[in-house]
Chains A and B, each alone.
Chain A
């Protein structure tokens, strides 16, 4: 245990960065990483790796040392089972009731976000430990890269856990941020920026790279699943428009040849969510290849038929479609969504009245939308919540006499409501503005990365080669022409 003071001394030196350039600090941290990894892997000091007191939250120096605590933590985590420490014990201490649970949670909330960039492998293995809860993982993701713009394997793990734990709102701080990048290949990251890892980076793209190991190797399926699960979380929260957007990302993913089952799954949900959000069968995003649209429509035919019946306003056909394909909805686990579609049929029919009428009495509404309760008071109790929730832009006007019908005015809200609407729009504009600024930053980052990437340079040089070749060919062609002419002339 005498080694612990040595570790603390080494760690203290690391904290003293006054007067150091980023490059010197970077070298110092890299040396420290090597030192820690070496120290904790030696047999003589293996006792440290098994000593949970290394992670004692009261020892601020160790805990604040992101590298040491990460590596120590992982060393403790990966301690092998033995006769004295059977597998159940090794795993059990990381379960919520285990001794290391609170230390793990505390660690994820307090680690040094700069130093952790040097210990990506240990960090990821700790965070991907399947027994840790959603909230600490969320805090760790946001602590590592507050913009969340770089997609990592932890993003997928996190949304999966949120979905499984039914902790939907917990996922929003991550889901609401736009994913703009994948971890850059290390060659690109090193060429595009000479900044040291510990320097101040404008974007996580500079330090979340292939070589940082902060993300596992990603496949296109990971990306699809992230957006599918994200869409399902928004569906659970009834944020239909956001769900629609997330599922739209999945279905418009470029593919070569075969279509992924994840995309088909997403398309089925996308059709139903589109009905709930917009009341109609929407067109797929513009960037969806036409052959994919045809494939989707043939594979998910019952969904398309259901949507067409909904769009035509035919309640009986809709119910018949639901009954006919009940087994399919159940098998696809979309029965809940289908039920919600049926339940919102009347609401969307009411909203559509606005296209034709400026005002009508509740009795006239009953004639137009026949599936509402026959009693005008009950009908009013269906219409009023729609207006109150903002789903329907209308007002109700009671008449002086109880015998007269209530009037439904669809010609827009009065002035004061518009003022309120305007103030809400201002807030939305401001939010959108901030979002656009963030997106523009990410776009610039992407442009810069693409311009300096090996692929771009290769493509550019190929392009130049093609240009040169075509220029040469053109010349050759001209020569051929001349030859021909000459031959003809000669002939």
Chain B
């Protein structure tokens, strides 16, 4: 499939599109060699040749595509592949590095803080919002399977909600959790999560574990 040339307009369109993360990643990865060529045009691999704004938008978008496909170590490798000068000087890429550190260290509060309060370039907003939602959903699923009972303030902190309001029993926050099937115990002031199961995208309808065991049995025979 032929792709249009790498341009700011093309990147804006991709960021605003609702493409599945894997497709977005695939398209942006095909643009990486074009970005490398632009850098190389400057004559020095560490210099930010070509159009620094375009390169910044490309690398930032590609970075978010990595996070949206849950490729955190590869996102780190991407930051090492970026032109060094651009990485050190560009505010958007500096924000990406801050975000990467927070995600790497699973510092939930810092992740939300970075996504919400740091100045991101406008064309990148759709991807920033998309990742925030993605991170929240993933965290909600992880908390639901890791806690049998959890204080509302802690649950709210995990999801980037107002912890103080949650501690005071803010009903709107409690309701966000009960809407997910969790139960709220007013006596103990604890939320009881119901584990959220997410079918794998590769999963096909099946009659259960018996099918898998039958498959294994046929392999053995």
Given the known interface contacts A135-B30, A388-B143, A400-B188, the answer about A416 and B197 at a Cβ–Cβ threshold of 8 Å is yes
The answer to whether B148 and A414 have CB atoms under 8 Å apart is yes
For B194, what are the chain A residues with a Cβ–Cβ distance below 8 Å? 416
The stretch of B74-82, B90-98, B112-120, B122-130 in contact with A is B74-82
Query: Complex formed: what's the CA distance from A388 to B190 in Å?
Result: 19
Query: Complex formed: what's the CA distance from A56 to B27 in Å?
Result: 24
Query: Complex formed: what's the CA distance from A249 to B187 in Å?
Result: 58
For A105, what are the chain B residues with a Cβ–Cβ distance below 8 Å? 33
B149 at the interface (CB under 8 A from A): yes
For A413, what are the chain B residues with a Cβ–Cβ distance below 8 Å? 145, 195
A397 at the interface (CB under 8 A from B): yes
**Count: A-B pairs, CB below 8 Å:** 115
Given the known interface contacts A238-B73, A395-B147, A420-B197, the answer about A96 and B40 at a Cβ–Cβ threshold of 8 Å is yes
User: Whole-angstrom distance from the CB of A27 to the nearest CB of chain B?
Assistant: 36
The answer to whether A395 and B40 have CB atoms under 8 Å apart is no
A396 at the interface (CB under 8 A from B): yes
The answer to whether B199 and A423 have CB atoms under 8 Å apart is yes
The answer to whether A398 and B150 have CB atoms under 8 Å apart is yes
**Chain B proximity mask over A384-400: 1 for CB below 8 Å, otherwise 0:** 11011100000111111
* Minimal Cβ-Cβ distance residue in A for B106: A385
Query: Complex formed: what's the CA distance from A139 to B216 in Å?
Result: 33
The stretch of B15-23, B51-59, B169-177, B201-209 in contact with A is B201-209
The answer to whether B146 and A395 have CB atoms under 8 Å apart is yes
The answer to whether A430 and B215 have CB atoms under 8 Å apart is yes
**Chain B proximity mask over A428-439: 1 for CB below 8 Å, otherwise 0:** 011101001000
* Minimal Cβ-Cβ distance residue in B for A135: B33
The answer to whether A427 and B202 have CB atoms under 8 Å apart is yes
Query: Complex formed: what's the CA distance from A414 to B154 in Å?
Result: 21
The answer to whether B81 and A388 have CB atoms under 8 Å apart is no
Given the known interface contacts A417-B145, A420-B145, the answer about A97 and B37 at a Cβ–Cβ threshold of 8 Å is yes
Task: Report the contact-size class of chain A (Cβ under 8 Å from the partner).
Answer: 35 or more
Given the known interface contacts A135-B33, A400-B190, A429-B215, the answer about A169 and B81 at a Cβ–Cβ threshold of 8 Å is no
- For chain B, the count of residues having a C-beta within 8 Å of the partner chain is 48
Q: Which of B40, B151, B195 is most buried by chain A, counting CB atoms within 10 A of its CB?
A: B195
**Chain B proximity mask over A218-241: 1 for CB below 8 Å, otherwise 0:** 000000000000000000111000
Query: Complex formed: what's the CA distance from A384 to B77 in Å?
Result: 26
Given the known interface contacts A168-B77, A169-B71, A433-B219, the answer about A422 and B195 at a Cβ–Cβ threshold of 8 Å is no
A50 at the interface (CB under 8 A from B): no
B9 at the interface (CB under 8 A from A): no
B179 at the interface (CB under 8 A from A): no
The answer to whether B147 and A396 have CB atoms under 8 Å apart is yes
User: Whole-angstrom distance from the CB of B64 to the nearest CB of chain A?
Assistant: 15
Query: Complex formed: what's the CA distance from A133 to B203 in Å?
Result: 34
**Chain B proximity mask over A41-58: 1 for CB below 8 Å, otherwise 0:** 000000000000000000
The answer to whether B146 and A166 have CB atoms under 8 Å apart is no
Query: Complex formed: what's the CA distance from A170 to B78 in Å?
Result: 11
For B71, what are the chain A residues with a Cβ–Cβ distance below 8 Å? 169
Given the known interface contacts A237-B74, A400-B190, A423-B199, the answer about A429 and B146 at a Cβ–Cβ threshold of 8 Å is no
Query: Complex formed: what's the CA distance from A238 to B77 in Å?
Result: 12
The answer to whether B77 and A167 have CB atoms under 8 Å apart is yes
The answer to whether B73 and A397 have CB atoms under 8 Å apart is no
User: Whole-angstrom distance from the CB of A89 to the nearest CB of chain B?
Assistant: 17
A358 at the interface (CB under 8 A from B): no
The answer to whether B148 and A397 have CB atoms under 8 Å apart is yes
A424 at the interface (CB under 8 A from B): yes
The answer to whether B219 and A168 have CB atoms under 8 Å apart is no
The answer to whether B200 and A423 have CB atoms under 8 Å apart is yes
A287 at the interface (CB under 8 A from B): no
For A236, what are the chain B residues with a Cβ–Cβ distance below 8 Å? 73, 77
B212 at the interface (CB under 8 A from A): yes
**Chain B proximity mask over A150-177: 1 for CB below 8 Å, otherwise 0:** 0000000000000001111110000000
List 15 A-B pairs, Cβ < 8 Å. A97-B37, A165-B81, A169-B77, A237-B73, A385-B106, A388-B139, A388-B146, A398-B147, A414-B195, A417-B195, A419-B195, A423-B203, A426-B206, A429-B216, A430-B204
**Interface of B with A (CB < 8 Å)?**
29-30, 32-33, 36-37, 40-41, 71, 73-74, 77, 80-81, 106, 139, 142-143, 145-151, 154, 187-190, 194-200, 202-204, 206, 208-209, 211-212, 215-216, 219
Extra A-B contacts (11), CB below 8 Å, given A135-B33, A427-B200: A95-B40, A168-B74, A237-B74, A395-B145, A395-B148, A396-B150, A399-B149, A400-B189, A414-B148, A419-B197, A429-B215
